[in-house]
């Protein structure tokens, strides 16, 4: 569990360092960080995976919303890795 917490902390620390210091990020900034398109970021906002705020200069994503999304995705990836490893190792994943 401590290793998992450390992995999450490392991911968030790297994100903090690489993101612009602004409290609100443009769709292009979020897309560049996630490695996707601005349209994908719009879809993530529409599906409530990210928070979007309409501001005078356009739609923005609060920095904390992106960091929370990264935290949730990292935890899910760690959980999936721990749960999938034994079944993948023994080959019983696709048995019916």
Q: What CATH number has the domain bearing residue 51? A: 1.10.1660
CB within 8 Å of 36: residues ≥ 6 apart: none
> What domain count does the chain have?
1
8 Å CB contact between 63 and 24: yes
- Whole domain around residue 59: which residue ranges? 2-6+22-83
Residue pLDDT, tens place only, 25-84: 999 999 999 999 999 999 999 999 999 999 999 999 999 999 999 999 988 888 887 644
CA distances to 1, 14, 54 from 71, in Å: 15, 12, 24
Q: Which of 59, 52, 53, 67 is nearest to 21 (CA)?
A: 67
- 8 has pLDDT over 90: no
Strands laid side by side in the 24-26 sheet: 24-26, 58-62, 53-55
Kindly state whether residue 53 falls inside one of the protein's structural domains.
yes
Q: Mean pLDDT throughout 80-95?
A: 51
pTM exceeds 0.75? yes
């Amino acid at each position: 569990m401590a290793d998992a917490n450390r992995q999450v902390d490392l991911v968030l620390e790297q994100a903090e360092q690489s993101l612009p210091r602004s409290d609100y990020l443009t769709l292009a900034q979020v897309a560049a960080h996630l490695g996707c398109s601005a349209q994908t970021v719009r879809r993530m906002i529409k599906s409530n995976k990210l928070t979007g705020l309409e501001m005078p200069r356009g739609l923005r994503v609060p920095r904390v919303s992106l960091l929370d999304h990264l935290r949730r995705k990292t935890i899910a990836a760690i959980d999936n890795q721990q749960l999938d490893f034994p079944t993948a190792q023994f080959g019983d994943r696709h048995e019916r």
